[in-house]
Structure 1
Amino acid sequence: MKIKTKFLCEVEINEQEIITFEYGLPGFPDLKKFALLSLDADLPLALLQSTEEAEIGFVVAYPFLFKNDYEFEISDEDKEDLQIEKEEEVLAYSIVTLKETFHESTLNLLAPVVINTNKKLGKQIVLQDSAAYSLRYPIGAMEGSAK
């Protein structure tokens, strides 16, 4: 299946790889279907692209590469929504706010995008301990293995 994207023009995706966000994403409650697309094999970034609206795409990053002590608990309600049975089937991403220079860009560590890779279900969750992480964590302050 071909889809138009915000940053990559038109790309071919496998329909079985489409991730369903039952509640949409904050600000986009009606958009339910997204694809996770690689941007560059050498970068720890991807594009979370709506398959329904070409102009809706979010650059995301694996937050643990940028903040090595990043951790959070997934509530029982979120586990149920995402049909999580094992920790191994879960991936978490942070939405990136791009700045003029990449080094000045930030990660949203407060509201990770959690994906059940087996069931192809996703949800952006807001962490309950809002003091623990920042909405705008500087990418330039890399602590993990992405240095």
Structure 2
Amino acid sequence: MIIKTKYHGQVEINEEDIWTFNQSIPGFAEENQFILLAFPENDVFFVLQSTNTPALGFVITSPFSFFPDYDIQLDEPVVEALKLEKAEDAAVYTILTVQEPFEQTTANLKAPIIINTTNQRAKQVILNDSRYETRHSIFPVGAEKE
């Protein structure tokens, strides 16, 4: 299947790699299918690309790459909705708000995206955890670009 994307132009994807959000990402009610696309020569940042809307692509990352102590507990309804059987089947990502300069980019730790890697079901979860906000800086203050 060939799709048009926000950052990668036209790409060919495998339908079995599509993530299905049974409950869409808040604010995007009509969007339920996304694909994860890597940036060339980068293993930290990805694009969560809509398979239907070329202009809709979120830059995401594993929160553990920047916040090693990030710790979330999923409620039973989320576990059931994703049909998660083991914790290791869950992949966790956060949506980034990319800023200029890039060092001011923030991560939404309050609403991670959880994917069941065994069945491609996905859900954005809103956490009731006061430790996390929607805009956590991913770089220490004063960090410089490498």
User: Normalising by structure 1, what TM-score?
Assistant: 0.92
Q: CA deviation at 1:41?
A: 3.5
Distance in 1, matches of 2:84 and 2:120, equals: 11
Structure 2 match to 1:136: 135
Secondary structure at the counterpart of residue 77 of structure 1: helix
Q: CA deviation at 1:84?
A: 0.3
Secondary structure at the counterpart of residue 37 of structure 1: strand
Distance in 2, matches of 1:52 and 1:79, equals: 27
Structure 1: 5+ residue stretches without partners: none
Structure 1 match to 2:33: 33
Contact 1:114–1:122 (8 Å) recurs in 2: yes
Secondary structure at the counterpart of residue 103 of structure 1: helix
Distance in 1, matches of 2:50 and 2:6, equals: 9
Deviation by residue 1:18-49 (Cα, 9 ceiling, x = unmatched): 01001110100111110011113434010000
Distance in 2, matches of 1:106 and 1:43, equals: 18
The number of equivalent residue pairs is: 142
Which amino acid in 2 is paired with 1:76? E
The 5-angstrom pairing of residues 1-147 of structure 1 reads: 1-129=1-129, 131-141=130-140
**Identical counterparts, % of pairs:** 39
Distance in 1, matches of 2:21 and 2:44, equals: 22
User: Normalising by structure 2, what TM-score?
Assistant: 0.93
Q: CA deviation at 1:141?
A: 2.5
Distance in 1, matches of 2:54 and 2:24, equals: 15
Deviation by residue 1:46-101 (Cα, 9 ceiling, x = unmatched): 00000011111100011011011001001100000000001111100000000012
Deviates more, 1:133-142 or 1:119-128: 133-142
